[in-house]
């Protein structure tokens, strides 16, 4: 069903301004031809605005794991644009210091959440899948069919910050032994609702468990850390790193990464030696304004962090 679900891009102009360095006094899209990366194409909201502002000699390379995103990208008829069906941890495959800016708009797109067949949402009945890339890897249902209580507990606790991780994991394994594997989203949502007796106001009891399984099955935090590390190699001095995150686990990684590389590093064993140069300069943190949040409630948890790659 083409175009049945749409994605409203979060921090659209703010992210593109930050990426292209179109804050007053600067412009990174130089005449010599710059290369920018949209590491999370989604439905191409950011990519299309970047292309509309890019000079003729510049290029935009996009990444996405999702074949539906790739199909949408195929509609862009622009020789400056290309997309790779890869995790953004492959950013490091690009040549060293070849890129003027990298944008990461993390998490999943609205079409992924809203399509019951993808299994991301407890609101719709669907297969318990949750893979961004349905061409490889195991689904949540396949993983839960063999994972042990300790492993499931750790995933729910670590990635869902769920107090009832242990009881939920035990209930999943007990159900497997008595009634067979969990195969649908609603079976999992019901099991969690039956297990977690207290309710957080305004939140479905399965929210944290679904978030945890999604993060785990897509190795989201590992991919993010790898992409951030790779960005230091591929972004050239003066170039930008722009990251939009939607929950505290992601934002903590981004914040710590920028902080760690924004300070001089001294070697304690050699007190008189010069410090190793810092690699990044933090340029700020932006949140959606009230009018964006009222237009697009999914933007309310977004935090964008911007950093500039300093000369080595």
Ligand X SMILES: C[S@@+](CC[C@H](N)C(=O)[O-])C[C@H]1O[C@@H](n2cnc3c(N)ncnc32)[C@H](O)[C@@H]1O
Chain centre distance of CA 191: 28
Instruction: Find, among 110, 87, 79, 4, the residue nearest to 40 by Cα.
Output: 87
Instruction: Find, among 79, 12, 86, the residue nearest to 43 by Cα.
Output: 12
Nearest distance in Å: CB 241, ligand X: 15
The Cβ-side half-sphere exposure at 152, using a 13 Å CA radius, reads 23
Nearest distance in Å: CB 240, ligand X: 16
Residue 101 found at the interface with ligand X (CB under 6 A): no
Q: What residues numbered 56-75 form the site for ligand X, per CB under 6 A?
A: 63-66, 69
Partners of 73 in beta bridges = none
Nearest distance in Å: CB 163, ligand X: 27
The nearer residue to ligand X, 168 or 224, going by C-beta atoms, is: 224
Binder among 16, 21, 43, 306 for ligand X (CB under 6 A) = 43
In this chain, which stretch among 26-34, 100-108, 203-211, 264-272 interacts with ligand X, using CB under 6 A?
A: 100-108
Residue 205 found at the interface with ligand X (CB under 6 A): no
Chain centre distance of CA 50: 19
Residue 121 found at the interface with ligand X (CB under 6 A): no
In this chain, which stretch among 41-49, 115-123, 273-281, 300-308 interacts with ligand X, using CB under 6 A?
A: 41-49
Instruction: Retrieve residue 211's tokens.
Output: 């978030």
Answer for the pair 232, 97: CB distance below 8 angstroms, yes or no: no
DSSP string, 117-149: GG---TTS--BS---S-TTSS--HHHHHTT--H
In this chain, which stretch among 23-31, 101-109, 256-264, 273-281 interacts with ligand X, using CB under 6 A?
A: 101-109
Q: Which residues bind ligand X (CB under 6 A)?
A: 7, 9, 40, 42-46, 63-66, 69, 87-88, 105, 107-109, 132, 223
């Amino acid at each position: 069903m083409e175009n049945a679900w749409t994605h409203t891009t979060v921090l659209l102009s703010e992210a593109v301004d930050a990426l292209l360095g179109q804050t007053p006094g600067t412009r990174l899209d130089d005449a010599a031809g710059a290369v920018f990366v949209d590491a999370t194409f989604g439905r191409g909201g950011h990519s299309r605005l970047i292309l509309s502002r890019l000079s003729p000699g510049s290029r935009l390379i996009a990444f996405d794991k999702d074949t539906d995103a790739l199909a949408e990208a195929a509609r862009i008829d622009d020789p400056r644009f290309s997309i790779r069906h890869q995790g953004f941890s492959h950013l490091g495959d690009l040549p060293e210091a070849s890129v003027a800016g990298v944008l990461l708009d993390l998490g999943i797109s609205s079409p992924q959440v809203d399509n019951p067949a993808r299994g991301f949402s407890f609101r719709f009945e669907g297969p318990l899948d949750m893979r961004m890339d349905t061409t490889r890897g195991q689904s949540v249902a396949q993983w839960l069919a063999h994972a042990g209580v300790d492993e499931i507990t750790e995933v729910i606790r670590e990635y869902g910050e769920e107090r009832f991780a242990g009881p939920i994991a035990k209930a999943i394994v007990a159900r497997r032994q008595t009634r067979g594997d969990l195969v649908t989203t609603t079976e999992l949502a019901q099991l969690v609702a039956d297990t977690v007796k207290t309710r957080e106001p305004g939140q479905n009891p399965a929210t944290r468990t679904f978030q945890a399984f999604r993060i785990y099955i897509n190795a989201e935090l590992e991919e993010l850390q790898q992409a951030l590390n790779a960005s230091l190699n591929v972004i050239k001095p003066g170039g930008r790193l722009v990251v939009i995150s939607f929950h505290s686990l992601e934002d903590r990684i981004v914040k710590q990464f920028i902080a760690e590389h924004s300070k001089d590093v001294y070697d304690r064993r050699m007190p008189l030696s010069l410090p190793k140069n810092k690699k990044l300069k933090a340029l700020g943190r932006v949140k959606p304004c009230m009018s964006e949040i009222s237009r697009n409630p999914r933007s309310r948890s977004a935090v964008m962090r911007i950093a500039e790659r300093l000369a080595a």
